[in-house]
């Protein structure tokens, strides 16, 4: 008879990446963090725009969760996506930073940004954007992308990723398998890329495939539907796309994060239990549930119910994710030892 109860001691919260509402930790914040023990905490502008002040918040978070049990992440791309406005280099939009096609200034910009982020205790920068700026009507990517040329995107994107890595920061390529050719913003609706697979291979997928080949350690999914590959499910929820293409075809063995599950791209179209189960089955190692504490807590309860329904399967899945996170921790620790000399 199948055991119907999962181990209550397994760290199911390690599938969660969450956010906090302000610049300081309240007792309620501390209690909640200890209760769910998430893998990551993602910083936003409401957590502070001054790097020196944010450093104190990061120290508080690490005191609550212990230094080696939590990843601190931030969206600090440059241009219009910058959470910090003081105390770090403020970069141009990637389109302008990479306008000459020269990877050297892109690497240098990322390296100097990464050094400052690391000084305040950040582990992960959700950059570079590896989307190709293939649709001028796109409301969300635009100048966040390096170029409308896929080869240029992969060259400059990896220069940015390597600059962050050289500074001891984990880069995150996003948004797989490409959010460039959409006319909707997945924060507010579910976009579709109607291109045939032959176009996807040479355009949307190319920067990600090369990034995997060159060892990018972390990738974020897109809440975008690609009917040529999976006519029903957006990428975040699609085993055909994440497991079939990213993991098997491209050979990605690193950490895979969902984009924020609170976004309307998935949240307004599918029930949360379905989103959670399908994303984890598709091999996501972390689910971002941001700016919504109740939804994050509900996500953890959904995970526990899933685990109780089929303990052997979900315990194996969690172990794989923990192994990938552990390898990433080892890689970045070695890189920081090298940087510190």
d(CA 136, CA 187): 18
Q: Which of 187, 189, 269, 310 is catalytic?
A: 187
Query: 21-47 b/e with 16+ CB inside 10 Å = b?
Result: eeeebeeebeebbeebbbbbbbbeeeb
DSSP single-letter state for residue 92: P
Three-state DSSP class for 11? coil
| Contact criterion met (CB below 8 Å) for 306 and 275 | no
Other C-beta atoms closer than 10 Å to the C-beta of 200 total: 19
- 119 CB-contact burial (10 Å; exposed 0-12 / middle 13-18 / buried 19+): middle
> CA distances (Å), 238 to each of 27, 243, 280, in order?
38, 8, 10
| Contact criterion met (CB below 8 Å) for 330 and 322 | no
Alpha helical stretches, state H, the chain:
27-36, 51-65, 94-97, 103-119, 150-166, 197-202, 205-213, 239, 264-267, 272-281, 293-309, 311-340
Q: Which of 123, 230, 259, 285 is catalytic?
A: 259
Cis peptide before 175 (omega within 30 of 0): yes
d(CA 140, CA 104): 27
Q: What is the 3-state secondary structure (H, E, C) of 166-228?
A: HCCCEECEEEECCCCCCCCCCCCCCCECCCCHHHHHHCCHHHHHHHHHCCCCEEEECCCEECC
Longest dimension (CA), the chain: 64
Q: Active site includes 187?
A: yes
* Cα–Cα nearest to 193, from 207, 208, 206, 204: 204
Q: Active site includes 179?
A: no
The residues annotated as belonging to the active site are: 187, 259
């Amino acid at each position: 008879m199948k055991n119907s109860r999962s181990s209550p001691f397994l760290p199911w919260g390690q599938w969660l990446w969450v956010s906090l509402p302000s610049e300081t930790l309240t007792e309620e914040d501390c209690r909640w963090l200890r209760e769910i023990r998430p893998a990551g905490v993602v910083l936003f502008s409401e957590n502070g725009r001054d790097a020196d002040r944010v450093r104190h918040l990061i120290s508080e978070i690490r005191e609550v969760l212990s230094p080696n049990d939590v990843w601190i992440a931030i969206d600090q791309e440059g241009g219009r996506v910058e959470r910090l406005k003081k105390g770090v280099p403020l970069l141009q939009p990637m389109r302008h930073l990479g306008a000459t096609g020269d990877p050297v200034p892109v690497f240098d910009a990322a390296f100097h940004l990464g050094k400052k982020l690391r000084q305040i205790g950040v582990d992960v920068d959700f950059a570079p954007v590896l989307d190709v700026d293939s649709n001028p009507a796109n409301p969300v990517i635009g100048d966040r992308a390096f170029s409308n040329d896929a080869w240029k995107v992969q060259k400059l994107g990896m220069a940015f990723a390597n600059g962050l890595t050289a500074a001891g920061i984990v880069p995150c390529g996003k948004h797989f398998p490409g959010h460039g050719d959409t006319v909707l913003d997945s924060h507010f609706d579910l976009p579709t890329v109607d291109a045939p697979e032959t176009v996807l291979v040479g355009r949307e997928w190319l920067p990600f495939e090369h990034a995997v080949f060159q060892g990018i350690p972390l990738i974020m999914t897109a809440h975008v539907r690609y009917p040529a590959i999976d006519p029903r499910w957006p990428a975040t929820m699609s085993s055909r796309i994440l497991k079939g293409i990213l993991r098997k075809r491209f050979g990605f063995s690193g950490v895979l994060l969902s984009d924020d599950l609170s976004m309307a791209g998935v949240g307004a179209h599918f029930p949360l239990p379905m989103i959670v189960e399908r994303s984890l089955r598709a091999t996501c190692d972390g689910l971002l549930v941001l700016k919504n504490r109740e939804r994050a807590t509900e996500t953890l309860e959904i995970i526990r119910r899933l685990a109780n329904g089929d303990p052997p399967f979900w315990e194996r899945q969690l172990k794989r994710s923990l192994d990938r996170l552990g390898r990433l921790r080892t890689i970045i620790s070695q890189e920081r030892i090298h940087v510190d000399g």
